[in-house]
Amino acid sequence: MTTFRIAVRLRAPDPAARTARLALSRVMPAECPAILSRYDLWEFDVESGGLEVVEAILGRYPDILNPNKQESLVLGGEPLPGEDASMTWVSVEISDRDSGSSAGWSSVIGRAGFPVAEVRCKVLWILGYPGSATTGEVLEKAGAVAVSVTRSRGLLSNPVSQTARIFIPERPGSEGSPGK
Amino acid sequence: MRPGVAVVQFPGSNCEYETALALQEAGLDGRIVRWNASPSSLASFQAFVLPGGFSYQDRIRAGAVAARDGVMDAVCSMASAGRPVLGICNGAQILVESGLVPGWRPGTIEAALASNLSPGRTGYYADWVFVRPARGSARSPWLCACDDSPIPLPVAHAEGRFLFPSGTELDDLESSGTPALTYCMPGGEPAVEWPWNPNGSSFSLAGILDPSGGVLAMMPHPERARWLWQVPPGLPGPWGAKRRLSSGRAAIHEPGPGSAVFSSLARWLGAG
């Protein structure tokens, strides 16, 4: 079994990311990142075969990847496009508990005959803070932004139905930093 | 003078006109108020409705952005002062994301309306379902004129599954008066599975209340069942039979099953 992680983003600026940053700048200005980008994150547990299985799925279902308006990236540790080395970047990965979307897509793709045991639909947010901030500071700010506690604290996930994994992404040649 | 009820329109709301009309038909002064209205302009309203739709295009998470909108400061303030607030579908998602319901610790987000969970399906689902008022829900301004017979109403959503923190039991919800409406079979028996529980909602909940009963978040659309002509003739149960008998007659313009929500508020405010 091999798990492939595919990030899908709009070719145009992402309206959800712009709206999220606007909302955060109003309710949590101290924790609001300077740059915020958003990806649909798809995880495919492929039972037999390699990346070509995922490519076939992406080619068949425009609801996952519409090449007219979206592009996909196979995640493997390299920096995502647009990540400026002068900034400190934090990843926030949002997963639904008992995800109806994941269950639905697992069923649809399994019925279509693809050798995929499970599909998980997630959202990946990339938060960029000025490079002068320490790793601890950005992890703390990203943690506050990631989990909704009240109307004025947190935004990116609802802790009742979702989990948020917050981490400094590992890069080639670095050891990475532990998240929380 | 009819009591004023504000129907708060957000960018992306799409049920505000029929909701205001349903309020007017119930004898209330239902008025559409835009999200960027001044907070002082809201003070004169006796109650508030957050209508269905796709506020802010459901960006980030359904209801999450509207919940942080400035107009919700005023709505939360009015709710805490005891003025009734109803959220329908996307409006319910906004109330959950505002922490107004279940309201065990007011302002804290203690529930979610998660993506539908039904066998072999994903995404948006629209159909007619049946709901019953839960025990104790008659204390609510929005349900005080309802009896406990099954009420057919349409649902149309992708994220309508009520979830609570892990370990929450039905007893916990009942002791705080949280259940408002539950999905049921056409004969009134509890709905356990799809399609009668259309989204896999915890404890088959279709609507929840805050402890006071003044704030109701419900996923079905009562404004889309305001008149009998809106009921599908093929629907099982007494409402379907009534609808079939009314075909071609003036009776087809009589109130439908969803009118009880609006007439409840009218009665509560002394206008019904």
**Identified catalytic residue from B76, B89, B144, B184:** B89
CB atoms B163 and A161 under 8 Å: yes
CB atoms B111 and A97 under 8 Å: no
Maximum average pLDDT range among A98-112, A120-134, B94-108: B94-108
Q: Rounded to an integer, what distance in angstroms lies between the CA atom of residue A10 and that of residue A8?
A: 7
Q: Is the pLDDT of residue B36 over 70?
A: yes
Q: Stretch B79-105: mean pLDDT, rounded?
A: 98
A174 is written with which tokens? 């670095």
CB atoms A103 and B56 under 8 Å: no
Q: Which residue of A has its CA nearest to B57?
A: A16
- The residue to which tokens 């969970």 are assigned: B117
Question: What percent of chain B clears pLDDT 90, i.e. is strictly above it?
Answer: 95
Mean pLDDT taken over chain B: 96
CB atoms B165 and A160 under 8 Å: yes
* Domain locations along chain B: 4-267
Chain A / chain B CB contacts < 8 angstroms: 91
Q: Stretch A94-101: mean pLDDT, rounded?
A: 89
Q: Is residue B12 within 8 angstroms of chain A, CB to CB? A: no
Cis, bond preceding B195 (omega within 30 deg of 0): yes
Q: Is the pLDDT of residue B39 over 50?
A: yes
CB atoms B60 and A105 under 8 Å: no
Residue B120: per-residue pLDDT: 72
- The residue to which tokens 């009420």 are assigned: B151
User: pLDDT (tens digit, 9 = 90+) per residue, B72-86?
Assistant: 999 999 999 999 999
Q: Is the pLDDT of residue A70 over 70?
A: yes
Query: Residue B209: CB partners within 8 Å, gap ≥ 6?
Result: B101, B102, B137, B140, B177, B178, B179, B180, B215, B216, B217
User: For residue B166, how many other CB atoms are within 10 A of its CB?
Assistant: 7
Residue A131: per-residue pLDDT: 84
Q: Rounded to an integer, what distance in angstroms lies between the CA atom of residue B91 and that of residue B110?
A: 16
| Least reliable range by pLDDT among B48-57, B71-80, B110-119 | B110-119
| pLDDT band (50, 70, 90) for residue A82 | low
State the ipTM, two decimals: 0.92
Q: Is the pLDDT of residue A83 over 80?
A: no
Residue A176: per-residue pLDDT: 42
| pLDDT band (50, 70, 90) for residue A99 | confident
The alpha-carbon gap from A77 to the nearest alpha carbon of chain B, in Å, equals 25
| pLDDT band (50, 70, 90) for residue A76 | confident
Q: Stretch B46-60: mean pLDDT, rounded?
A: 97
The alpha-carbon gap from A67 to the nearest alpha carbon of chain B, in Å, equals 21
CB atoms A103 and B165 under 8 Å: no
CB atoms A155 and B60 under 8 Å: yes
A143 is written with which tokens? 């943690």
In this structure, which amino acid lies at residue B35?
Answer: W
| pLDDT band (50, 70, 90) for residue A81 | low
Which of A25, A120, A151 has the highest number of chain B CBs within 10 A, making it the mutation to test binding with B?
A151
Nearest by CB to A101, from B112, B122, B165: name it: B122
Compute the Cα dihedral for A128, A40, B96, B83 and give only its sign.
positive
Long-range contacts, A60-65 (Cβ 8 Å, 24+) = A60/A112, A61/A108, A61/A109, A64/A8, A64/A40, A64/A105, A65/A6, A65/A8
Of B121, B114, B122, the closest CA to residue B201 belongs to B114
Residues of B in contact with A105 (CB under 8 A): 122
Instruction: Rounding to the nearest 10 degrees, give the CA dihedral for residues A56, A60, A62, A67.
Output: 50
Question: Phi and psi for A59 in degrees, rounded to 5?
Answer: -70, -20
Determine whether B18 is an active site residue: no
Q: Rounded to an integer, what distance in angstroms lies between the CA atom of residue A107 and that of residue A132?
A: 46
Nearest by CB to B57, from A15, A157, A160: name it: A15
Q: Is the pLDDT of residue B222 over 60?
A: yes
Query: Residue B79: CB partners within 8 Å, gap ≥ 6?
Result: B48, B85, B100, B210, B214, B215
Residues of B in contact with A158 (CB under 8 A): 61, 64, 97, 109, 112
Q: Is the pLDDT of residue B204 over 50?
A: yes
Nearest by CB to A158, from B65, B109, B120: name it: B109
CB atoms B122 and A23 under 8 Å: no
User: pLDDT (tens digit, 9 = 90+) per residue, B141-184?
Assistant: 999 999 999 999 999 999 999 999 999 999 999 999 999 999 99
Residue A174: per-residue pLDDT: 47
Residue B123: per-residue pLDDT: 83
Q: Stretch A7-34: mean pLDDT, rounded?
A: 96
Question: What percent of chain B clears pLDDT 70, i.e. is strictly above it?
Answer: 100
Q: B80-111: string of b/e by CB count within 10 Å (b at 16+)?
A: beebbbbbbbbbbbbbbbbbbbbbbebbebbb
Residues of A in contact with B120 (CB under 8 A): 104, 107, 111
| pLDDT band (50, 70, 90) for residue A177 | very low
Q: Rounded to an integer, what distance in angstroms lies between the CA atom of residue A74 and that of residue A7?
A: 6
Compute and round to an integer the Cα radius of gyration of chain A.
17
Q: Rounded to an integer, what distance in angstroms lies between the CA atom of residue B60 and that of residue B12?
A: 14
B119 is written with which tokens? 């066998």
Q: Is residue B77 within 8 angstroms of chain A, CB to CB? A: no
Q: Stretch A7-31: mean pLDDT, rounded?
A: 96
Question: What percent of chain A clears pLDDT 90, i.e. is strictly above it?
Answer: 77
Nearest by CB to A100, from B99, B161, B164: name it: B161
Residue B119: per-residue pLDDT: 78
Q: Is the pLDDT of residue B121 over 90?
A: no
Nearest by CB to B117, from A100, A155, A160: name it: A100
User: Which has more pLDDT, A100 or B256?
Assistant: B256
Which of A158, A162, A163 has the highest number of chain B CBs within 10 A, making it the mutation to test binding with B?
A158
Q: Stretch B51-71: mean pLDDT, rounded?
A: 96
CB atoms B60 and A97 under 8 Å: no
Q: Rounded to an integer, what distance in angstroms lies between the CA atom of residue A163 and that of residue B228?
A: 44
Of A180, A176, A172, A10, the closest CA to residue A79 belongs to A172
DSSP assignments along A51-92, one per residue: HHHHHHHHHH-TTT--TTTEEEEE-SSSPPTT--TTEEEEEE
Q: Is the pLDDT of residue B16 over 90?
A: yes
| pLDDT band (50, 70, 90) for residue A175 | very low
Of B103, B63, B60, B56, the closest CA to residue B79 belongs to B103
Compute and round to an integer the Cα radius of gyration of chain B.
17
| pLDDT band (50, 70, 90) for residue A179 | very low
Q: Which CATH class is domain B4-267?
A: alpha beta
